[in-house]
Amino acid sequence: MSGGAGFLYDANKSLEGNRALLKKGGYFNNANDYEVAPKRTLFKFKRASRKQLLFYRSLVTQERRNQLKRALVIGGALLVLLSITLGVMFDKGIF
11-63: per-residue pLDDT in tens?
888 988 888 777 766 655 655 656 666 677 788 889 999 999 999 999 999 99
Q: What is the mean pLDDT of residues 64-70?
A: 97
Higher pLDDT, residue 71 or 46: 71
* Alpha helices by DSSP H, the chain: 5-23, 32-35, 50-92
pLDDT surpasses 70 at 78: yes
How far apart are the C-alpha atoms of 57 and 4, rounded to whole Å?
53
- Domain boundaries along the sequence of the chain: 5-92
